[in-house]
Chain A
Amino acid sequence: MADTELNINARNCDTPVNEIYLQAKQLDIGYRNEVVVRDISFTLRQGEAIALIGTNGSGKSTLLKTIVGILGSMGGELSVFGMPPGNNHRRIAYLGQFHASGFVLPLRAIDLVAMGRYPLHGLWRRMGEKDDEIVMAAMKTMGIESLANASLRSLSGGQQQRVYLAQVLAHQADLLIMDEPTTGLDAGGRELYLNAINDELCRGASVIMATHDIQEEAALCHQVMLLAHRVVAIGPPHKVMTPEALLETFGVVVAGENRLHVLECKHGHDDNERQGLNRKRQP
């Protein structure tokens, strides 16, 4: 963990922090005419990261899907790069939670990572040498360059997760939006991931992620939003992550040696979240 501490502290790069990438004012989110969380207000600037923390079904994924434009907002204002959501395909990289399992797709790892370049090239434009270099660099960042030509389904769940994260990195987007990005990663994978996010922030990209990890990932972020069907708290991690706020967010918190142990009160994924895309199409 010492290395991780070092990485977190290394976020002292001089990123120009000025332009507002993401702004929500009294935003209500939900699906199928049912509001999940009301009155969300926050600002995310260039080079900043925000972590959404909460139990399953607390509204984290719903907020991410609203930001990328898959779900419509249900009230209030939301602007992404100064525009309504869904207008910035080239600038946003998104990794959802419920994609097809890598165990069924007849693809090589490198093919899946290369898909991260598609938003920049659309239907027609050919991928060039530069794209190949970026794809390989992303795989190297996640420590999977030797697996490039391996069949995706021959990889373990953790290795597949590294492939998905390499895909996000390969986009070289201005805004990275990730839902539970560290699912299934081992300690080495988590460290590579935290380093990669740190590099992305230093490059001037912004990050918004939903996570259960209140120790490392949250510490890397400039802001933390605690969600429990409402915004429990939002602000810098050291101010927001109080035992009281965490108790309200998660239900049960046990303080141990230099660590907070969170026991979640609710388990199992909400199937409604999985159906998000279809829900938007409801009349």
Chain B
Amino acid sequence: MFDIFIAPFTDNGFMVQALLAGTLVSIACAIAGTFVILRGLAFIGDAIGHGVLPGIALAILFGFHGIIGAAVSALFMIGGITLITQRSRLSSDTAIGLLFVGMLSLGVVIVSRSSSFSGDLTRILFGEILGISRIDILIQLGATIIIAAIAIICARPFLLLSFDPEQAEVAGFSVRLFHNIMLFMIAITVVVSFQTVGTLLVFGLLIAPAGAGALLARRIKAMMLWAAIFGIISMYIGLLVSYHFNLAAGASIILVAVSIFFIVFIIQNLRHRRTGNQKDIIHG
């Protein structure tokens, strides 16, 4: 009976590797995603996710590791976003949106030079969690440690930034410096996560578990813990479902993560409505 839950992982080495990578990526996304939500950086997070495409495309074309290409692209995106935020007289959303669409199309144009165009593009956009190597897992482990270290060291300025950037500045924490460190942390997360669910869906992994955590938690640490738990559950269920029903793994994982968010959302709303009604009765 329990075989359907366990056997896919005990019988297949690649499934264990996938779950291990998924767990590490879930922890990284829980930490970075928490600050993405608190600081209202969802759009920038999405833009970085799509913006890494050209670097990965070049890596495929010239045969170096995709993570290196993604990292270079991500740095370029952070530079572009920072420049736009400072200089734009328009709402920065407009320019950041154009930057990410530009990078996305540049990536597709580059991949179109590849001999296996559609196969490569699908792998980049939707991930290849079942093809994760040991080296990839080691890189993800290193990155997760770096991300956790950044979150611990910068906890105070990140919290002040989330409350009020002006107050952070007055308190002696440079807004420019710590905002860029936060963007850097988000970028590392995207760079090491794209292999699992793809550049198109990595945003979901960043936002959905942390969003569900935000609904439940009343402390930042608890929000991160919930986010990591929801992320890992999504990985496990997503992999299991994709194995049994022969579905795309990355998309299955994101579908589970988003479903968890909406289930928590609905339960919270029903609960609030009930306690709200009770209050009305008491006061009425």
Contact = CB atoms under 8 A, between A and B. Distances in A.
B162 interface: yes
Interface in B213-229: 213-214, 217-220, 222-223
Contacts of A123: 153-154, 156-157, 173
A89 B163 contact: no
A138 to B, nearest CB: 16
Interface stretch (A8-16, A261-269, A273-281): A273-281
Report whether over half of chain B's contact residues are helix, strand or loop; otherwise say mixed.
helix
A122 interface: yes
A98 B172 contact: no
B255 interface: no
Given A111-B219, A281-B86, A100 B172 contact: no
B160 interface: yes
B75 interface: no
B165 interface: yes
B154 A115 contact: no
A92 B170 contact: yes
B38 interface: yes
Interface in A95-129: 95-96, 98-100, 105-108, 111-112, 115, 118-119, 121-123
Chain B residues touching A, range = 20 to 34
Residue with the highest number of chain B CB atoms closer than 10 Å, among A154, A276, A278: A278
Interface string A171-188: 000000100000000000
Contacts, number: 88
B218 A151 contact: yes
B85 interface: yes
- Residue among A96, A108, A118, A281 with max Cβ neighbours from chain B (10 Å): A118
Given A95-B167, A106-B223, A100 B162 contact: yes
Given A90-B172, A118-B171, A123-B153, A276 B166 contact: yes
A174 to B, nearest CB: 13
A115 B157 contact: no
Contact of A106 (B157, B167, B217): B217
A90 to B, nearest CB: 7
B93 interface: no
Contacts of A69: 169-170
Interface residues of A, number: 36
Interface string A64-106: 0100111000000000000000000110101110111000011
A96 B171 contact: no
Contacts of B213: 106
A283 B89 CA distance: 12
Nearest to A283: B87
B37 to A, nearest CB: 9
B197 interface: no
B159 A122 contact: no
A153 B223 CA distance: 14
Contacts of B86: 278, 281-282
A78 to B, nearest CB: 15
Given A94-B170, A118-B173, A121-B156, 4 more contacts: A94-B166, A106-B38, A106-B213, A278-B85
18 contacts: A68-B170, A69-B170, A70-B169, A95-B167, A96-B167, A99-B164, A99-B167, A100-B38, A105-B38, A105-B162, A106-B217, A111-B219, A118-B171, A123-B173, A177-B170, A277-B165, A281-B176, A282-B86
Closest CB pairs A-B (n = 9): A89-B172, A99-B164, A151-B218, A119-B171, A94-B170, A68-B170, A106-B217, A96-B166, A118-B156
Interface of B: 38, 85-87, 153-154, 156-157, 159-160, 162-167, 169-173, 175-176, 213-214, 217-220, 222-223
